[in-house]
Amino acid sequence: MWRKLGICGVVWMLASCGNQVEKSIKNPTQIDTYFPISDFINKQIDGLEGVDLRKDLYVNGDHEQVRQQLTREQWRSELDWFIQADINKASLATAYDIVDENGTTSYRLKPGENSNIEEMTVIYDGDRVDEILVKAFDKNTFYQSETMAKLSTDPVSGNLSTYELETTQKVLLLSPRVLKVKSQVEQP
């Protein structure tokens, strides 16, 4: 009798652990109400390993051009700003107004809602994502930052072709600092 109870107890514990593993894989803080930019970027990254990148960097007017070939991990780091701009979070489930017009979907932060992503606009060419525009704003007592970002895809392949980020940072008592990145993916 005790042996049967012991076996049943072990089976019950294993079944409970199996459910916990399955539950922990799902992310309860993610929703699918808005455009899934992080999924979109991750799918783009899958096809970018070994592809050349030409990047123009501007800091307060100074210019530097960089040409490099990135690994998958480096691409993820390179495009991390766009991944972090994902607004599909449970805390933002009702924070954005959605406007669909003529192949364009815009997600605009509602008044009184709190998020650093003020607006995201996705422009489609049929079913293909043509461009993604993101406007972000961050402010506290000592610091203010505004970022405009644009990502474009190739009209034939649908693969990432260009992306740009322009950030103006203002720290209390210092002059504003303008950072701009213009990048072009050079497909083989």
pLDDT tens track for 92-101 = 989 999 999 9
* pTM, rounded to two decimals: 0.81
Confidence of residue 14 (pLDDT cuts 50, 70, 90): very low
Give residue 27's pLDDT. 52
Give residue 29's pLDDT. 65
142-171 tens-digit pLDDT: 989 999 999 999 999 999 999 999 999 999
Give residue 5's pLDDT. 39
Give residue 49's pLDDT. 85
Q: How many CB atoms lie within 10 A of CB 89?
A: 15
8 Å CB contact between 135 and 143 = no
Tokens at residue 133, please?
């525009």
Which range is least confidently modeled, 6-10, 42-46, 75-79, 167-171?
6-10
20-69 tens-digit pLDDT: 333 334 455 678 889 999 999 999 999 898 899 999 999 988 999 999 99
Q: How many CB atoms lie within 10 A of CB 8?
A: 10
Q: Which of 150, 148, 179, 154 is nearest to 163 (CA)?
A: 150
Give residue 12's pLDDT. 40
Q: Which of 111, 105, 87 is nearest to 36 (CA)?
A: 87
Give residue 19's pLDDT. 42
Cα(187)–Cα(2) distance, integer angstroms = 68
Confidence of residue 75 (pLDDT cuts 50, 70, 90): very high
pLDDT above 90 covers what percent of the chain? 70
Give residue 154's pLDDT. 94
* Whether the predicted pLDDT of 129 surpasses 80: yes
Which range is least confidently modeled, 19-28, 74-83, 134-143?
19-28
